[in-house]
Amino acid sequence: MNFDLLKTFTTIDDKNIAYHVINDQISVDENRKALAKKYDFDLASLKYMDQIHSNIVQIPSKDISKYIADALVTDLINTPLLVMVADCIPILFYDDILGVIGVAHAGRNGTYQDIVTNVCEIMKNDFSCDLSNVKVELGPSIQKCCYEVSPELATIATKNFGNDIANGRFIDLQQINKKQLLKNGILEENITISKICTKCSNRNYFSYRRDPHCGRFGGLIMLRPKLEL
């Protein structure tokens, strides 16, 4: 391995890092600057998304920062990828053999549209990843204890993904994503799912269902050159 991996989920302590939710560009600029300083990356190289609850994956280029998409995949060094959430699942992907990373925003729509499969296909087809080497982390997000949807949406979920992913109107988005990942050849031992429910855990993460006017926290991943000792 000739690189190091930075991967983290930010918290409320890192404040809101999304321009689209609270109309306060200067604060978000400051919060992102603080994040870049904390994790020692160049803010100009950050890649992030105008997230639209789709299953679109983009491969960022060196000179463009923002993409209309819900997932990004890259093998560029020193190029942090950011996904922003408050209840939706922030997902980090990495192949630490080839040096390929990805992020995805999996809310209900992205999950129902199987966004993780699109990420897996790009990693396999465009970056030659062997998916049995790819590790996947689902970050803090709303869990089956709190994720209540309409009866219609719950029915769509059980019809498509099995009866075990719903308890009445409460659905388990993390398990649906896990099933989709396994179907793509991601190994069970390479999937990590945070047990933190953003809504009821009272932990340090924004939750849209707890407060619709909240900010967004992030999933962040980056390849760094390995320091030669």
- Contact residues toward Zn ion (CB under 5 A) are 145-146, 197, 199-200
**Residue whose CB is less far from Zn ion, 179 or 209:** 209
Comparing CB distances to Zn ion, the nearer of 153 and 196 is 196
Q: How many Å apart are CA 31 and CA 192, to the nearest integer? A: 28
Q: Closest separation between CB of residue 179 and Zn ion, Å?
A: 21
Distance CA 116, CA 71 (A): 9
CB of 200 to Zn ion, least distance (A): 3
Least distance to Zn ion from the beta carbon of 78, Å? 37
- From residue 3, how far is each of 82, 180, 181, 188 by CA, in Å? 19, 29, 25, 25
Please provide the size of the chain in residues: 229
- In the complex, least distance from residue 160 CB atom to Zn ion, rounded to whole angstroms: 23
Residue 135 vs 209, nearer CB to Zn ion: 209
CA distances from 198 to 11, 92, 203 (A): 11, 17, 7
Closer residue to Zn ion in complex, CB, 48/205: 205
The enclosing H or E element of 92 equals strand 89-95
